[in-house]
Structure 1
């Protein structure tokens, strides 16, 4: 098991180096630069050139990348060009908020996906199965930001049941206030995951229910709960794999949801960095998301190996 994990960790290093290089270069070649956001439109060309030189943007790209990577390896993401704050501080608070949103979305989507998927596999002609199919199709088809706007309009504005925007009310209201603000963005962000996971759980469980070992268990008079436990044990590895990837998507793919609901998370911070051409924030944000993706994959692989030891030989 230890050798298996060490191999996965070694593979992680070139992956993250490649991601950091590609992200850094792509951002640099995109038209526009932070100087346009820092200086007024009527600023002289000389002033723009001086600012570019002060920011170090006139150096060769490879040298800029090596300098940036050297600081990142030491745990220093630098300073925001626009906000003039340490990116480590900005990222810390934003990442905590995004983790809260991703965990809430995961709990919502994974719980109902497993519940609906398993029931639909056992009762494929029931109204619950039809409801699961409808939610799955809607979740996959409707963009999460559009679903967020609908939820905000109905439950936040028309009915007034839940706060439509922000993370806390004016002055703050404690845990219950944060929880109330969390409901709508968590549901909006989790709809795509709910649709994907429901279809996957249903198809895996339905296929396993028709396997010979299930027929043997039934022939021996095994209780339904015993059969379900055996089925879920065999269905867990693919479900874990998809769940890990979906959690990574919830953490890094909720940029528009966080923007729509003004949720002060990592996605919202990256969006602000993109609009303002704040290179250090964009680079740091995407790199942190990539790290979480890779770490989640390692965790999922480790859990998969514990459930199925044959995986350790791969």
Structure 2
């Protein structure tokens, strides 16, 4: 009898856990993403086409910098009518040239003695930006201030860029393994902190595929494992969306394993998976859409990652 009662207790706990995870998934996915559009520019004609193409279930990523208050308000208004979510770009792992002066002013106003140079790991020459150590408290406070400012524009969420700066932490030779792990953990906690800041907002993570599994290996030939985002399972502060930028442009055992992870993530339904392909990479437009659709991912296609401020992305092979 005692054994039977023990078995019933185990089954009841298991059922409650399953129901809790299911309810979390249902809550996070009340909005069902069906499409993706990116545009970082401010051309009035392109913005007009962007709004004309808005559809129910679409997620639209825009860069607020360069847009007027009236432009932002109109985009948000038309998005609400269409059933589209508008989310704003923010880089959490890199400091852009345009933001450098703002961050330096922030440090000065807050009388923070930490120098900017001590927080910078390296320069991204392609985009003239700097990789930042997100474990630094001043950077995290600066980002929180930016998030508050962005949310005043009534957007539906955030697009977290440069999450893949964590890859530099993982292999940084100058740091001991313990120190590397500290910054990787900081990136994970930062993503969840931003989600927790306004839980109703739609948060999409760009890149950072090393973080999406149950664990993250930090090191070289030897190292240590730390807990990852584990997007395949429920967590109240995990991102709502994951963007695989440059999808299918390269192949390797690591990429194949990450694609398997993303397929499972998509199937479990707690985080939606999006793909972004480019014409100037090694994958054809047709193959990109075929692969994305077969995996159940939500695709968008552009000519180049340097043209996102000039043109809209496309959502079909024939578009």
The TM tier, using the shorter chain, reads under 0.3
When Rg is computed on C-alpha atoms for both structures, the one with the higher figure is 1
More strand by share: 2
Give the structure with the higher percent helix: 1
Q: Which has the higher contact order (CA 8 A, sep 6+)?
A: 1
* TM-score after normalising by structure 1: 0.27
